[in-house]
Chain A
Amino acid sequence: MNRKVCFVFVAVLFLVLVGGACGKRPSPTVEKPAAPESKEPYRIGAILSITGPLGALGTPQRNAAQLAVEVINQQGGINGRKVDLLVIDDESDDTKVPSAMLKLVTEQKAMAVFGPTAAGPYPIMEMARQYQVPLLVPQPENDITEVGNPWVFRVMVRDSRYISKAIDYLKKQGWDRFALLHDSTDYGNAAAEEFKVQARQVGLTISAIEKYEPTDQDMTVQLTKIKKTDPKAIVVWGTVPGPAIIARNAKALGLSQPFLGGSGINNPKFIELAGDAANGWLYTGVGFSVADQMADREYREVVQDFSQRYQRKYGSDPGSFGALGWDGMQIIFEGLRRAGEGKGDALRDAIEQIDGLKGVFGTYRYSKSDHDGLGVESVYIIKIEDGKRILVEQPSLK
């Protein structure tokens, strides 16, 4: 009996110890790129999804952010001070984001925070206000910058801009009657609502709105319904593989209308899965995948410089998430440069003054009233021809 009690005691103790050890695991992966010099370094925080289902997105973000810090420190830092980047892994879990934020702004005294990769930013947006730390969110949901929180900046093109660009192009081409086929995720549903509003504003008619599940195997039925309404163009809003299946079905059905997709198509997988059927598809996307075709030399160089550095260090393609990590850091660096020794209010105001910072995603322009950074001019119409991406219209140089 005594032995049994003893055994249970040991077992419980063991569990507590193991539990304690496990509990400590998500503690910050503090990565110090360079030893601090005489002056104290600037401390920047990042909350990224390194592990878990979003790991494939957050990892290039972290790599690119670390690369940016490495580069700036090699160049002597900012205002003579080095930069320290502290990355916390949120494990792709919404509920881990607030504790990570708390750690960064209190314990680690981060002056600005970048993230989260894709987990919910809303609770930490309030914390940014409370602790007076600028928060740079690399996510596209419209409402992130709509809540009127002066501490929150966006480092990405917001959803509605892609739709504005698509509407703009439809109108320009005279495709005043179009059909919309979207997936039934929040992304597709929100886009449908936005399309309805924007189409009405400029006087375009939507002949049909159809949707499909992201796991659907065949969209022939939806396309047949759309065909019946005789639209001049068909807009497809969803992420791969859906649009690729649509392209194949449409080709089999012999639909002659032009197809215009959203940024979900800006993915090499689309061309791979759709094969020949991808030819002639148009989509709205940011410029870096067609940067080599841009007349803007400065922008071309920014993109090339980043992707070459990234390739050299990590041996892989940074993708759009890597690009966001890089751009986020450049914006913080520029803010610190302008703010000098100031932080909090001063740093936030400095970021608001950024006007024309060329990043990989586009040209960032912030102001007191605009925390979105990237305008519709950062979105281009890209066409797929023979499996290659072609820039359809050259943007006017600014």
Chain B
Amino acid sequence: MRGRPEGVREFGFRRAGPAISTFDCYHKGAEGKRQGDLDVAQYLVTGFVLGCSYALVGVGFTIIYKSYRILNFAQGEFAMFAALLAAWLVTIKGVSTAVAIALGLLLVAGLAVVFEVGLLRPLKGREGPAIIVTIAAGVLLTGVAGLVFGKDSYILPAMLPCEHPIVVLGATVVVQQVIVVLVAGVTLVLVAVFFSQTLIGKAMTASVDDPGLALLAGISVRKIRLYSFVLSSILTGLSGILVAPLAAVSYRIGPTLTVKGFAAAILGGIGNSTGAAYGGIVLGVAEALAAALLPSGYKDGVAFAIILFVLLLRLFITRPLVTEGGH
């Protein structure tokens, strides 16, 4: 079987047809420059909101990278699982939205514990196998989600019952988009404060910088690693849940989110949470602008282009992959 979208449809579609060529048929309207400005505002808003969700996944990547020195390629699947569970509970089981969201986050936190204790800890910090294990876990999570929740898409009801879009600088903004930005922003600030101000946050940073020394100082590196996994998965899960009322969630969205989060993380300098947050936003805006300026089919190439570019850059200017001293 070749890649086909699932779901009950009337149609099947395969055939390796040629990619559609650029169809250049834009008629320059009489709207003039002003209309153009408004459009840019719309692209920026759309990109910024998506960027906030990428930022959360990206920060999730860096937190695990900092404590474990591995990339968790199941990151997007965690986001998918939380969002899908929440949307499924609301749609199929009639659970209230707040409870469903809480359960979604709890589930990914639980999954993170199982994942860390059961799969990664036995590998005793061997990075190569651990990364392969995360890839396998991602595939497994996608499969399990497909079995448990089915191949259908679900949507989470809006978190505030306000249907009317707001117009900001000529750009249409839905209330949920404001929620995404606010919640993501507050969460990211909290994470930064957590790492720089709280004892456990500092302990996490310390145990990464020098595990031996941290151990001497009475910090349990094991516990720290577990905490970082749980924190990372909750951030990622939150990212999925925040956009679930805007877009439909299905079991298939995990890998795309992983790529976006990874691109955000390496754009910000892997291991640097603040950088990853900015990286996410830059990626979101770049995607929206790419969709606007290029034929929209090229949009998803942006994340890959960024990954490739940054990795090549790092290869040529031999900097360590980790930005030291970042959060």
A: which residues have CB within 8 A of B? 49, 52-54, 56-57, 92-94, 118-120, 139-141, 143, 156-157, 159, 184-190, 192-193, 196, 205-218, 220-222, 224-225, 228-230, 239-241, 244-245, 248, 252-254, 262-264, 266-267, 269, 272-273, 276, 285-286, 319-321
Of chain B, the residue at the smallest CB distance from A252 is B165
Is B281 on the interface with A (CB-CB < 8 A)?
Answer: no
Number of A-B contacts (CB under 8 A): 201
Could you tell me the distance between the alpha carbons of A141 and B4 in the complex, rounded to whole angstroms?
Answer: 13
Given A119-B1, A266-B9, is A184 in contact with B253 using a C-beta cutoff of 8 Å?
no
Given A193-B20, A211-B20, is A320 in contact with B10 using a C-beta cutoff of 8 Å?
yes
Indicate if the CB atoms of A192 and B20 lie closer than 8 Å. yes
Of chain B, the residue at the smallest CB distance from A162 is B11
Q: Mark B4-19, 1 if CB is under 8 A from A, else 0.
A: 1111111111111111
Could you tell me the distance between the alpha carbons of A273 and B13 in the complex, rounded to whole angstroms?
Answer: 22
Could you tell me the distance between the alpha carbons of A228 and B25 in the complex, rounded to whole angstroms?
Answer: 12
Of B211-219, B264-272, B296-304, which binds chain A? B296-304
Q: Pick the most buried of A205, A217, A225, A266: most chain B CB atoms within 10 A of its CB.
A: A217
Indicate if the CB atoms of B247 and A93 lie closer than 8 Å. no
Indicate if the CB atoms of B172 and A253 lie closer than 8 Å. yes
Indicate if the CB atoms of A225 and B49 lie closer than 8 Å. no
Q: Which of A56, A141, A218, A228 contacts B8 (CB 8 A)?
A: A56
Indicate if the CB atoms of A196 and B31 lie closer than 8 Å. no
Q: Which of B5, B246, B247 contacts A185 (CB 8 A)?
A: B5
B residues 254-291 near A (Cβ < 8 Å) are 256, 288, 291
Q: Which of A192, A211, A217, A230 contacts B50 (CB 8 A)?
A: A217
Could you name 5 residue pairs across A and B whose Cβ atoms are closer than 8 Å? A56-B7, A190-B13, A206-B25, A215-B256, A225-B39
Q: Pick the most buried of A52, A188, A230, A269: most chain B CB atoms within 10 A of its CB.
A: A269
Given A241-B250, A245-B247, A273-B155, is A267 in contact with B15 using a C-beta cutoff of 8 Å?
no
Is B27 on the interface with A (CB-CB < 8 A)?
Answer: yes
Given A215-B256, A220-B42, A225-B292, is A263 in contact with B10 using a C-beta cutoff of 8 Å?
yes
Indicate if the CB atoms of B13 and A221 lie closer than 8 Å. no
Contacts of A248 in B (CB 8 A): 246
Indicate if the CB atoms of A215 and B243 lie closer than 8 Å. no
Indicate if the CB atoms of B46 and A240 lie closer than 8 Å. no
Is B152 on the interface with A (CB-CB < 8 A)?
Answer: yes
Of chain B, the residue at the smallest CB distance from A288 is B10
Could you tell me the distance between the alpha carbons of A245 and B15 in the complex, rounded to whole angstroms?
Answer: 26
Least CB distance, B53 to chain A, in whole angstroms: 8
Contacts of B248 in A (CB 8 A): 240-241, 244-245, 273
